[in-house]
Structure 1
Amino acid sequence: MLNFTYLYFDLYEENSYLYCGNQHPLFSKTHFLSLNELQNWQAIMPSYNIPSDAVHLQQRLNTKASATDREGIAFLILTGNFLGFLPDHYAKKWVSENKMMPLLESEMIYATEICLVTKKTKSNNMILEYFLNKIILS
Protein backbone atom coordinates (compact mmCIF):
# COMPACT_ATOMS: atom_id res chain seq x y z
CA MET A 1 0.00 0.00 0.00
CA LEU A 2 1.36 3.39 -0.97
CA ASN A 3 1.32 6.19 1.57
CA PHE A 4 1.67 9.64 0.04
CA THR A 5 2.04 12.90 1.86
CA TYR A 6 0.44 15.89 0.21
CA LEU A 7 1.15 19.59 0.32
CA TYR A 8 -1.81 21.98 0.33
CA PHE A 9 -1.57 25.61 -0.74
CA ASP A 10 -4.57 27.89 -0.18
CA LEU A 11 -5.10 30.01 -3.29
CA TYR A 12 -8.34 31.93 -2.81
CA GLU A 13 -11.92 31.75 -1.60
CA GLU A 14 -14.79 31.54 -4.08
CA ASN A 15 -18.24 32.91 -3.12
CA SER A 16 -21.34 31.30 -4.61
CA TYR A 17 -24.79 32.89 -4.62
CA LEU A 18 -28.28 31.73 -5.55
CA TYR A 19 -29.30 33.04 -9.01
CA CYS A 20 -32.38 33.23 -11.18
CA GLY A 21 -32.56 34.02 -14.88
CA ASN A 22 -34.27 37.08 -16.37
CA GLN A 23 -37.21 34.93 -17.56
CA HIS A 24 -37.87 33.71 -14.01
CA PRO A 25 -40.80 35.32 -12.11
CA LEU A 26 -38.46 36.27 -9.23
CA PHE A 27 -36.28 38.38 -11.55
CA SER A 28 -38.85 41.17 -11.63
CA LYS A 29 -40.24 40.62 -8.14
CA THR A 30 -40.67 43.98 -6.47
CA HIS A 31 -41.72 42.94 -2.96
CA PHE A 32 -39.51 41.48 -0.26
CA LEU A 33 -38.51 37.88 -0.93
CA SER A 34 -38.35 35.54 2.06
CA LEU A 35 -36.31 32.37 2.47
CA ASN A 36 -39.53 30.36 2.83
CA GLU A 37 -40.74 31.53 -0.60
CA LEU A 38 -37.79 29.82 -2.26
CA GLN A 39 -39.55 26.48 -1.71
CA ASN A 40 -42.14 27.61 -4.29
CA TRP A 41 -39.61 27.50 -7.12
CA GLN A 42 -37.74 24.68 -8.82
CA ALA A 43 -34.01 24.53 -8.14
CA ILE A 44 -30.91 22.72 -9.38
CA MET A 45 -28.72 20.55 -7.19
CA PRO A 46 -25.13 19.98 -8.30
CA SER A 47 -24.22 16.31 -8.56
CA TYR A 48 -20.63 17.12 -7.56
CA ASN A 49 -19.37 17.54 -3.98
CA ILE A 50 -20.15 20.85 -2.31
CA PRO A 51 -19.22 22.21 1.15
CA SER A 52 -21.46 21.24 4.07
CA ASP A 53 -22.77 24.80 4.48
CA ALA A 54 -23.80 24.68 0.80
CA VAL A 55 -25.65 21.41 1.41
CA HIS A 56 -27.64 23.10 4.20
CA LEU A 57 -28.58 25.99 1.89
CA GLN A 58 -29.47 23.60 -0.92
CA GLN A 59 -31.84 21.76 1.43
CA ARG A 60 -33.90 24.96 1.73
CA LEU A 61 -34.68 24.73 -1.99
CA ASN A 62 -37.17 22.71 -4.01
CA THR A 63 -34.69 20.61 -5.96
CA LYS A 64 -36.13 19.27 -9.20
CA ALA A 65 -33.02 18.97 -11.40
CA SER A 66 -29.34 18.18 -11.11
CA ALA A 67 -26.28 19.08 -13.14
CA THR A 68 -22.78 17.65 -13.25
CA ASP A 69 -21.05 20.98 -13.82
CA ARG A 70 -21.39 24.75 -13.55
CA GLU A 71 -22.16 25.07 -17.25
CA GLY A 72 -25.23 22.87 -16.83
CA ILE A 73 -26.37 24.82 -13.79
CA ALA A 74 -25.93 28.13 -15.64
CA PHE A 75 -27.86 26.83 -18.66
CA LEU A 76 -30.78 25.72 -16.49
CA ILE A 77 -30.83 29.05 -14.63
CA LEU A 78 -30.85 30.94 -17.95
CA THR A 79 -33.96 29.02 -19.08
CA GLY A 80 -35.88 30.92 -16.42
CA ASN A 81 -37.25 27.70 -14.95
CA PHE A 82 -34.77 27.08 -12.14
CA LEU A 83 -32.85 28.67 -9.30
CA GLY A 84 -29.27 27.60 -8.71
CA PHE A 85 -25.97 28.40 -7.06
CA LEU A 86 -23.02 29.68 -9.09
CA PRO A 87 -19.72 31.30 -8.14
CA ASP A 88 -20.01 35.07 -8.44
CA HIS A 89 -17.07 35.32 -10.84
CA TYR A 90 -18.69 32.72 -13.10
CA ALA A 91 -22.10 34.45 -13.14
CA LYS A 92 -20.63 37.97 -13.48
CA LYS A 93 -21.02 38.16 -17.28
CA TRP A 94 -24.71 37.21 -17.21
CA VAL A 95 -25.39 39.53 -14.28
CA SER A 96 -23.78 42.46 -16.13
CA GLU A 97 -25.89 41.63 -19.21
CA ASN A 98 -29.06 41.59 -17.05
CA LYS A 99 -29.64 37.90 -17.89
CA MET A 100 -29.24 36.65 -14.32
CA MET A 101 -29.43 38.08 -10.81
CA PRO A 102 -28.54 36.90 -7.30
CA LEU A 103 -31.30 36.35 -4.76
CA LEU A 104 -31.14 36.96 -1.01
CA GLU A 105 -27.41 37.69 -1.22
CA SER A 106 -26.86 37.99 2.52
CA GLU A 107 -28.50 34.62 3.31
CA MET A 108 -27.99 32.46 0.21
CA ILE A 109 -24.21 32.51 -0.01
CA TYR A 110 -21.46 30.02 0.69
CA ALA A 111 -17.70 30.07 0.29
CA THR A 112 -15.42 27.42 -1.17
CA GLU A 113 -11.70 27.34 -0.46
CA ILE A 114 -9.72 26.80 -3.64
CA CYS A 115 -6.44 25.00 -3.02
CA LEU A 116 -3.57 23.60 -4.98
CA VAL A 117 -2.60 20.08 -3.91
CA THR A 118 0.59 18.27 -4.83
CA LYS A 119 2.31 15.13 -3.71
CA LYS A 120 5.36 15.67 -1.51
CA THR A 121 8.38 14.10 -3.16
CA LYS A 122 11.92 13.44 -2.05
CA SER A 123 13.45 14.27 -5.42
CA ASN A 124 13.69 17.79 -6.79
CA ASN A 125 11.36 18.60 -9.63
CA MET A 126 12.44 21.94 -11.07
CA ILE A 127 9.33 22.34 -13.21
CA LEU A 128 7.00 21.73 -10.27
CA GLU A 129 9.03 24.03 -8.01
CA TYR A 130 8.95 26.80 -10.63
CA PHE A 131 5.19 26.37 -11.08
CA LEU A 132 4.50 26.42 -7.33
CA ASN A 133 6.67 29.52 -6.84
CA LYS A 134 4.80 31.32 -9.64
CA ILE A 135 1.38 30.39 -8.25
CA ILE A 136 2.07 30.94 -4.57
CA LEU A 137 4.07 34.14 -4.92
CA SER A 138 1.62 35.73 -7.38
Structure 2
Amino acid sequence: MAKRALLRSLSDVDIRLIRVFIAVTECGGFAASELELNIGRSTISKHISDLELRIGLKLCNRGPAGFSLTPEGEQVLEAAHGLLASLDGFQAHIDNIHIHLTGTLRLGLFDQSTTNPEARVHKAIQAFDASAPDVAFEIALDPPGVLEARVTDGTLDIAIVPIHRQSSILQYTPLYQEHMTLYCGEGHPLFDVPETARADALNLAQYKYAGYAFNSPNMKAGQSLGIRRAARVQEEEALSLLIQSGRYLGYLADHVAETFLRKGAVRPVAAQDTGYSSTFAAIVRRKPEPTRKTEEFLNCLVAAHQA
Protein backbone atom coordinates (compact mmCIF):
# COMPACT_ATOMS: atom_id res chain seq x y z
CA MET A 1 0.00 0.00 0.00
CA ALA A 2 1.32 3.43 -0.91
CA LYS A 3 2.24 5.75 1.92
CA ARG A 4 0.25 8.91 2.46
CA ALA A 5 1.92 11.69 0.45
CA LEU A 6 3.24 14.67 2.37
CA LEU A 7 3.57 16.76 -0.76
CA ARG A 8 0.85 19.35 -1.20
CA SER A 9 2.77 22.03 -3.12
CA LEU A 10 6.18 22.12 -4.76
CA SER A 11 9.07 23.93 -3.09
CA ASP A 12 12.61 24.61 -4.29
CA VAL A 13 13.76 21.67 -2.15
CA ASP A 14 11.29 19.35 -3.89
CA ILE A 15 12.50 20.45 -7.31
CA ARG A 16 16.10 19.83 -6.24
CA LEU A 17 15.18 16.32 -5.07
CA ILE A 18 13.45 15.67 -8.39
CA ARG A 19 16.58 16.77 -10.28
CA VAL A 20 18.67 14.34 -8.20
CA PHE A 21 16.16 11.56 -8.96
CA ILE A 22 16.39 12.21 -12.70
CA ALA A 23 20.20 12.25 -12.58
CA VAL A 24 20.28 8.92 -10.71
CA THR A 25 18.00 7.28 -13.26
CA GLU A 26 20.04 8.67 -16.18
CA CYS A 27 23.27 7.32 -14.65
CA GLY A 28 21.74 3.98 -13.74
CA GLY A 29 22.19 4.03 -9.99
CA PHE A 30 23.54 5.77 -6.91
CA ALA A 31 27.21 4.84 -7.34
CA ALA A 32 27.28 5.84 -11.01
CA SER A 33 25.68 9.21 -10.26
CA GLU A 34 28.21 10.26 -7.57
CA LEU A 35 30.57 11.85 -10.10
CA GLU A 36 27.79 13.53 -12.05
CA LEU A 37 26.17 15.05 -8.97
CA ASN A 38 29.42 15.66 -7.06
CA ILE A 39 27.88 14.35 -3.84
CA GLY A 40 28.41 11.10 -1.95
CA ARG A 41 26.33 7.95 -2.32
CA SER A 42 24.87 8.22 1.20
CA THR A 43 23.68 11.78 0.48
CA ILE A 44 22.16 10.71 -2.83
CA SER A 45 20.36 7.83 -1.07
CA LYS A 46 18.97 10.24 1.53
CA HIS A 47 17.74 12.62 -1.19
CA ILE A 48 15.86 9.77 -2.90
CA SER A 49 14.42 8.59 0.43
CA ASP A 50 13.30 12.15 1.20
CA LEU A 51 11.58 12.37 -2.19
CA GLU A 52 9.86 9.01 -1.65
CA LEU A 53 8.63 10.25 1.72
CA ARG A 54 7.43 13.53 0.22
CA ILE A 55 5.35 11.88 -2.52
CA GLY A 56 4.39 8.73 -0.60
CA LEU A 57 5.67 6.27 -3.20
CA LYS A 58 8.58 3.85 -3.50
CA LEU A 59 10.51 5.00 -6.57
CA CYS A 60 13.32 2.47 -6.93
CA ASN A 61 14.80 -0.79 -5.78
CA ARG A 62 18.37 -0.69 -4.52
CA GLY A 63 20.46 -3.45 -3.09
CA PRO A 64 22.57 -6.48 -4.09
CA ALA A 65 20.39 -7.02 -7.17
CA GLY A 66 21.23 -3.55 -8.43
CA PHE A 67 19.27 -0.38 -9.14
CA SER A 68 15.87 -0.44 -10.86
CA LEU A 69 12.78 1.74 -10.97
CA THR A 70 9.48 0.53 -9.56
CA PRO A 71 6.40 0.86 -11.79
CA GLU A 72 5.48 3.93 -9.75
CA GLY A 73 9.01 5.25 -10.20
CA GLU A 74 8.66 4.97 -13.98
CA GLN A 75 5.53 7.10 -13.87
CA VAL A 76 7.09 9.64 -11.52
CA LEU A 77 10.13 9.88 -13.79
CA GLU A 78 7.94 10.68 -16.78
CA ALA A 79 6.06 13.29 -14.76
CA ALA A 80 9.35 14.74 -13.46
CA HIS A 81 10.67 15.25 -16.97
CA GLY A 82 7.43 17.01 -17.88
CA LEU A 83 7.59 19.21 -14.78
CA LEU A 84 11.16 20.38 -15.41
CA ALA A 85 10.45 20.97 -19.08
CA SER A 86 7.48 23.15 -18.09
CA LEU A 87 9.53 25.08 -15.55
CA ASP A 88 12.34 25.66 -18.02
CA GLY A 89 9.90 26.68 -20.71
CA PHE A 90 8.18 29.13 -18.36
CA GLN A 91 11.50 30.71 -17.36
CA ALA A 92 12.64 30.99 -20.97
CA HIS A 93 9.32 32.52 -21.98
CA ILE A 94 9.48 35.11 -19.19
CA ASP A 95 13.07 35.96 -20.15
CA ASN A 96 12.07 36.46 -23.76
CA ILE A 97 9.14 38.69 -22.83
CA HIS A 98 11.51 41.22 -21.33
CA ILE A 99 13.27 43.46 -23.83
CA HIS A 100 15.89 44.08 -21.16
CA LEU A 101 17.30 41.30 -19.04
CA THR A 102 15.99 41.20 -15.47
CA GLY A 103 16.12 38.96 -12.44
CA THR A 104 19.15 37.67 -10.53
CA LEU A 105 22.35 36.08 -11.78
CA ARG A 106 23.77 33.60 -9.26
CA LEU A 107 27.54 33.34 -9.70
CA GLY A 108 29.90 30.99 -7.86
CA LEU A 109 33.64 31.58 -7.43
CA PHE A 110 36.52 29.64 -5.90
CA ASP A 111 38.71 31.20 -3.22
CA GLN A 112 41.24 33.94 -4.18
CA SER A 113 39.93 34.48 -7.74
CA THR A 114 40.31 38.25 -7.36
CA THR A 115 44.10 38.27 -6.87
CA ASN A 116 45.00 36.35 -10.03
CA PRO A 117 46.20 38.86 -12.67
CA GLU A 118 44.98 36.50 -15.41
CA ALA A 119 41.46 36.47 -13.98
CA ARG A 120 39.35 39.27 -15.48
CA VAL A 121 36.03 38.40 -13.89
CA HIS A 122 35.66 41.99 -12.72
CA LYS A 123 35.90 43.17 -16.34
CA ALA A 124 33.16 40.69 -17.30
CA ILE A 125 30.94 42.02 -14.50
CA GLN A 126 31.59 45.55 -15.72
CA ALA A 127 30.59 44.67 -19.30
CA PHE A 128 27.56 42.67 -18.16
CA ASP A 129 26.26 45.47 -15.96
CA ALA A 130 26.53 47.85 -18.90
CA SER A 131 24.39 45.57 -21.07
CA ALA A 132 22.02 44.28 -18.37
CA PRO A 133 21.81 46.92 -15.62
CA ASP A 134 18.52 45.53 -14.23
CA VAL A 135 20.03 42.14 -13.33
CA ALA A 136 21.09 41.73 -9.70
CA PHE A 137 24.12 39.65 -8.67
CA GLU A 138 24.38 36.96 -6.00
CA ILE A 139 27.96 35.72 -5.56
CA ALA A 140 28.94 32.65 -3.54
CA LEU A 141 32.45 31.50 -2.55
CA ASP A 142 32.69 27.72 -2.24
CA PRO A 143 35.05 24.81 -2.98
CA PRO A 144 35.00 23.59 -6.62
CA GLY A 145 33.01 20.42 -5.91
CA VAL A 146 30.32 22.39 -4.12
CA LEU A 147 30.15 24.91 -6.97
CA GLU A 148 29.76 22.14 -9.56
CA ALA A 149 27.03 20.50 -7.49
CA ARG A 150 25.17 23.81 -7.13
CA VAL A 151 25.32 24.51 -10.86
CA THR A 152 24.10 20.96 -11.47
CA ASP A 153 21.12 21.29 -9.13
CA GLY A 154 20.27 24.78 -10.39
CA THR A 155 20.98 26.80 -7.24
CA LEU A 156 23.74 28.61 -9.15
CA ASP A 157 23.47 29.81 -12.75
CA ILE A 158 27.20 29.82 -13.50
CA ALA A 159 30.47 29.25 -11.64
CA ILE A 160 34.21 29.46 -12.24
CA VAL A 161 36.25 26.45 -11.11
CA PRO A 162 39.60 24.79 -11.81
CA ILE A 163 39.13 21.98 -14.33
CA HIS A 164 39.71 18.64 -12.61
CA ARG A 165 37.15 15.88 -13.18
CA GLN A 166 34.68 17.07 -15.79
CA SER A 167 31.00 16.18 -15.51
CA SER A 168 29.06 15.35 -18.68
CA ILE A 169 26.11 17.31 -17.24
CA LEU A 170 28.12 20.55 -17.33
CA GLN A 171 29.59 22.66 -20.11
CA TYR A 172 33.15 23.92 -19.44
CA THR A 173 34.48 27.09 -21.08
CA PRO A 174 38.22 27.65 -20.32
CA LEU A 175 39.05 31.19 -19.23
CA TYR A 176 42.47 31.58 -17.57
CA GLN A 177 45.42 29.82 -15.94
CA GLU A 178 46.75 29.71 -12.40
CA HIS A 179 50.25 28.50 -11.48
CA MET A 180 50.81 26.74 -8.16
CA THR A 181 54.09 26.08 -6.32
CA LEU A 182 54.94 24.19 -3.15
CA TYR A 183 55.95 26.58 -0.34
CA CYS A 184 57.25 26.43 3.22
CA GLY A 185 57.31 29.11 5.92
CA GLU A 186 60.06 30.71 7.96
CA GLY A 187 61.42 28.24 10.49
CA HIS A 188 60.73 25.20 8.37
CA PRO A 189 63.76 22.87 7.84
CA LEU A 190 63.56 23.54 4.07
CA PHE A 191 63.29 27.32 4.37
CA ASP A 192 66.99 27.97 3.67
CA VAL A 193 67.33 25.28 0.99
CA PRO A 194 67.78 26.83 -2.49
CA GLU A 195 64.57 26.69 -4.51
CA THR A 196 66.59 25.14 -7.35
CA ALA A 197 67.07 21.96 -5.27
CA ARG A 198 65.46 18.87 -6.81
CA ALA A 199 62.48 17.34 -5.07
CA ASP A 200 63.88 13.81 -5.08
CA ALA A 201 66.88 15.01 -3.06
CA LEU A 202 64.77 16.59 -0.29
CA ASN A 203 62.82 13.54 0.93
CA LEU A 204 59.61 15.56 1.06
CA ALA A 205 57.61 12.65 2.50
CA GLN A 206 59.17 13.24 5.94
CA TYR A 207 57.45 16.64 6.30
CA LYS A 208 53.88 17.52 7.20
CA TYR A 209 51.75 18.70 4.30
CA ALA A 210 48.64 20.89 4.35
CA GLY A 211 46.23 20.49 1.46
CA TYR A 212 42.65 20.92 0.35
CA ALA A 213 40.12 18.49 1.80
CA PHE A 214 38.36 18.01 -1.55
CA ASN A 215 39.27 16.44 -4.88
CA SER A 216 41.23 19.00 -6.88
CA PRO A 217 44.48 19.45 -8.85
CA ASN A 218 45.99 20.39 -5.47
CA MET A 219 45.21 16.96 -4.03
CA LYS A 220 46.58 15.20 -7.11
CA ALA A 221 49.83 17.22 -6.98
CA GLY A 222 50.39 16.38 -3.30
CA GLN A 223 49.80 12.70 -3.93
CA SER A 224 52.27 12.69 -6.84
CA LEU A 225 55.01 13.92 -4.47
CA GLY A 226 54.28 11.15 -1.96
CA ILE A 227 53.78 13.59 0.93
CA ARG A 228 51.31 12.88 3.71
CA ARG A 229 48.45 15.27 4.30
CA ALA A 230 48.55 16.19 8.00
CA ALA A 231 46.12 19.12 7.75
CA ARG A 232 42.99 19.59 5.64
CA VAL A 233 41.53 22.95 4.69
CA GLN A 234 38.66 24.30 2.61
CA GLU A 235 40.12 27.72 1.78
CA GLU A 236 43.44 29.15 0.63
CA GLU A 237 43.46 31.64 3.52
CA ALA A 238 43.71 28.75 5.99
CA LEU A 239 46.33 27.06 3.82
CA SER A 240 48.58 30.14 3.78
CA LEU A 241 48.28 30.40 7.57
CA LEU A 242 49.50 26.83 8.05
CA ILE A 243 52.39 27.31 5.62
CA GLN A 244 53.49 30.52 7.37
CA SER A 245 53.60 28.63 10.68
CA GLY A 246 56.78 26.96 9.45
CA ARG A 247 55.37 23.54 10.33
CA TYR A 248 53.74 22.56 7.04
CA LEU A 249 54.49 22.36 3.34
CA GLY A 250 51.64 23.43 1.10
CA TYR A 251 50.67 24.67 -2.33
CA LEU A 252 49.81 28.32 -2.95
CA ALA A 253 48.95 30.11 -6.14
CA ASP A 254 51.99 32.21 -7.06
CA HIS A 255 49.90 35.38 -7.15
CA VAL A 256 48.73 34.67 -3.57
CA ALA A 257 52.24 33.85 -2.36
CA GLU A 258 53.72 37.05 -3.83
CA THR A 259 52.84 39.19 -0.80
CA PHE A 260 54.32 36.65 1.64
CA LEU A 261 57.44 36.30 -0.52
CA ARG A 262 58.10 40.04 -0.35
CA LYS A 263 57.88 39.86 3.44
CA GLY A 264 60.23 36.86 3.54
CA ALA A 265 57.52 34.78 5.22
CA VAL A 266 57.54 31.89 2.73
CA ARG A 267 59.93 30.27 0.26
CA PRO A 268 59.33 28.01 -2.78
CA VAL A 269 60.34 24.37 -2.40
CA ALA A 270 61.91 22.62 -5.44
CA ALA A 271 59.97 24.96 -7.70
CA GLN A 272 60.90 23.28 -10.99
CA ASP A 273 59.67 19.90 -9.75
CA THR A 274 56.66 20.83 -7.65
CA GLY A 275 54.99 23.56 -9.73
CA TYR A 276 51.91 22.92 -11.82
CA SER A 277 49.25 24.96 -13.62
CA SER A 278 45.46 24.72 -13.49
CA THR A 279 42.96 25.94 -16.06
CA PHE A 280 39.93 27.76 -14.67
CA ALA A 281 36.68 27.43 -16.60
CA ALA A 282 33.18 28.85 -16.49
CA ILE A 283 30.62 26.10 -16.00
CA VAL A 284 26.90 26.04 -16.84
CA ARG A 285 24.40 23.21 -17.14
CA ARG A 286 23.95 21.64 -20.57
CA LYS A 287 20.28 20.90 -19.91
CA PRO A 288 18.13 22.79 -19.46
CA GLU A 289 19.84 25.36 -21.62
CA PRO A 290 21.18 28.42 -19.76
CA THR A 291 18.91 31.44 -19.52
CA ARG A 292 19.54 34.51 -21.64
CA LYS A 293 21.18 36.37 -18.77
CA THR A 294 23.48 33.42 -18.04
CA GLU A 295 24.46 33.20 -21.71
CA GLU A 296 25.09 36.94 -21.78
CA PHE A 297 27.37 36.79 -18.74
CA LEU A 298 29.21 33.79 -20.19
CA ASN A 299 29.79 35.81 -23.37
CA CYS A 300 31.12 38.68 -21.24
CA LEU A 301 33.50 36.31 -19.45
CA VAL A 302 34.86 34.93 -22.71
CA ALA A 303 35.27 38.41 -24.22
CA ALA A 304 37.03 39.74 -21.08
CA HIS A 305 39.55 36.89 -21.09
CA GLN A 306 40.25 37.12 -24.80
CA ALA A 307 41.01 40.83 -24.62
TM norm. shorter chain > 0.5 = yes
Shift of 1:127: 2.0
Q: Which residue number corresponds to residue 23 of structure 1?
A: 187
Where does residue 177 of structure 2 map in the other structure? 13
In structure 1, what residue type is equivalent to 2:182? L
**Alpha-carbon separation, structure 1, partners of 2:255 and 2:196:** 26
What is the CA–CA distance in structure 1 between the aligned matches of 2:290 and 2:230, rounded to whole Å?
50
CA-CA distance at 1:122 after TM superposition = 6.3
Instruction: Tell me which residue corresponds to 2:282.
Output: 116
Q: Which runs of 5+ in 2 are unaligned?
A: 1-21, 27-151, 153-168
**Matches of 2:173 and 2:253, distance apart in 1:** 20
User: In the alignment, what sits opposite 1:56?
Assistant: 223
State the aligned residue count: 137
Q: Which of the two has higher C-alpha Rg?
A: 2
- 1:30 deviates by 5.4
Contact between 2:183 and 2:268, CA under 8 Å: does it hold in 1? yes
| Paired residue secondary structure (1:27) | coil
* Structure 1 runs not aligned, ≥5 long: none
The CA deviation at 1:76 is 0.5
- By how many angstroms is 1:24 displaced? 1.8
Of 76-85 and 19-28, more deviation after overlay is shown by 19-28
Structure 1 CA distance, aligned partners of 2:274 and 2:194?
Answer: 18
Maintained 8 Å contact 2:176/2:279? yes
Q: CA deviation at 1:92?
A: 1.7
**Which among 53, 69, 91 is matched to residue 235 of structure 2?**
69
Comparing 113-122 with 25-34, which one deviates more in the overlay? 25-34
TM-score, normalised with respect to structure 2? 0.40
Question: Alignment partner of 1:113: what SS?
Answer: strand
What is the root-mean-square deviation in Å for CA atoms of aligned residues? Answer: 2.7
Fraction of identical pairs, as percent? 24
Deviation, structure 1 residue 81: 0.8
Report how far residue 83 of structure 1 moved.
0.6
Q: CA deviation at 1:108?
A: 0.4
Equivalent of 1:96, from 262, 265, 282?
A: 262
Aligned to 2:136: none
- SS of the aligned residue for 1:26 comes to coil
State the 1:45 CA deviation: 2.9
- Which has the larger helix fraction? 2
- TM-score, length-scaled by structure 1: 0.81
* Post-superposition CA distance 1:58-84 (Å, at most 9, x none): x42243222222122111001111111
What CA deviation, in whole Å up to 9, does each residue of 1:87-123 have, x standing for no partner? Answer: 1122221112221121111100122221111124667
CA distance 1:32–1:12, shift in 2 (3 Å): closer
